[in-house]
Amino acid sequence: MRSELFGTLPDGTPVHRWTLERSGVRVRVLTYGGIVQSAEVPGGSGGAAPVPVALGFGDLEGYLAHPGPYFGALVGRYANRVAGGSFTLEGRTFRLARNNGPNALHGGECGFDKHVWDAEPTDGHGVRLSRVSPDGEEGYPGRLAVSATYTLDEAGALRIAYEATTDAPTVVNLTNHTYWNLAGGGDALGHEVRIAASRITPTDADGIPTGAYEDVAGTRYDFREAAGVGPGYDHNYVLDKGVTAAPVEVAALRDPGSGRVLTVSTTEPGLQLYTGDHFAPDLPFAPCAGIALETQHFTDSPNRAGFPSTVLRPGEVFASETVYGFSVT
C-alpha cells in the first residue's frame, strides 16, 4: 500500500491517491471525494496485463470538470434523492440544497464527493478516510463525524465499511458510486446481472418514489435469475434480505465475453441499478459504458414512513458495509 500526490485543488489543497494491492487486485482511492479512481483485476494466464474494470479519470481535473456522474464517489450525507429538498424530523423541517430540479440529490451542491478527506493506513491492506460534516452543511442537521474504510481482503475483495455518529438527530444514507465494466472497455450493455430482490420502489418522472412497492415478476425489472441488462435502468431494488448485521451477497454482474464476475454483498436493504444512460457528450465514456450497483437505504426515506428508517440520533452509531468480490467463471 502506498500514497502519492494526485493533484491540487484550485485553493491549493493537496489530493492524494492511495493504492491498495492484494491477491492480484489493485484499487486506487482518492482523498478527494473518497473516489475509487480505478480497480484492476488479473488479466488471465500468461502474464496478461491487469484489466481495468471501473470507470475513472486519470487526473484530478477530470473529476473537477465532470462532477455530475459521481464516478467512483463516496456519496453522502444522503445518497439518492430527497423529494422537494426538505424533510421533517422531530417536528422541525429542514431545507436542503436543491441540485436536481426541485429535489436534493447525493448530498447537495457540495456533498461528500466534493470534499478532501483525512486519510490514514489501517492494517497494511486498507485506508481509512474521515471527515466531520458540520451542523447545517447542505441543510442537514447535526455535526456528523463520518469515516469510510477501504480494505482489500485476502481474496482480493474490496470492502467498504462506513461509520458515523452525530450530536443531533439527523438522516444518513451513504453509498459508493463506482461504474463497473468487466469487459475492460466499450459499453457494458450485455453484461448479465442478478439481484436478489422481488420488488422495486417505483418512481415518478423526477425519480421520486410513489411510496408503493412493485413486484418485479413478469417485468423487465426481474433479475432474480441472471439476465442481460440493457439501457434505461435507474431503479431502487428492495433486497429480499432486508437490513442485516453482516454483509450478505445480493447481486452479481457478469461479462459473458470474459467470464469476469463482480459480486456485491451488503448490510443495506436496497440497491440502485443505474446503467449510466445520461453521460454528457464531452465525457470520455459513452452512455452505458459502466453499470452502477449502489447499495443504500431507499430514495426519499426521510419522507416515507413505510421505508426503512435513515434516522441517526446522538448515542447511536451508523454502521454499513459493502463488499465487492472479483472472480472469473
313 with 166: CB under 8 angstroms?
yes
Catalytic residue among 40, 137, 268, 294: 294
C-alpha distances in Å from residue 123, one per residue of 1, 62, 157, 161, 163:
10, 31, 15, 14, 18
What b/e readout covers 118-147, taking b as 16+ CB neighbours within 10 angstroms? ebeeeeebbbbbbbebeeebbbbbbbbebb
Residue 255 one-letter amino acid: D
36 with 72: CB under 8 angstroms?
yes
Active site residue 294: yes
Catalytic residue among 106, 115, 177, 191: 177
Picking from 185, 260, 190, the residue whose alpha carbon sits closest to that of residue 231 is: 190
Active site residue 106: no
Phi, psi of 80 (to 5 degrees): 70, -160
Q: Which residues contact 317 (CB under 8 A, 6 or more apart)?
A: 163, 164, 165
Active site residues: 177, 294
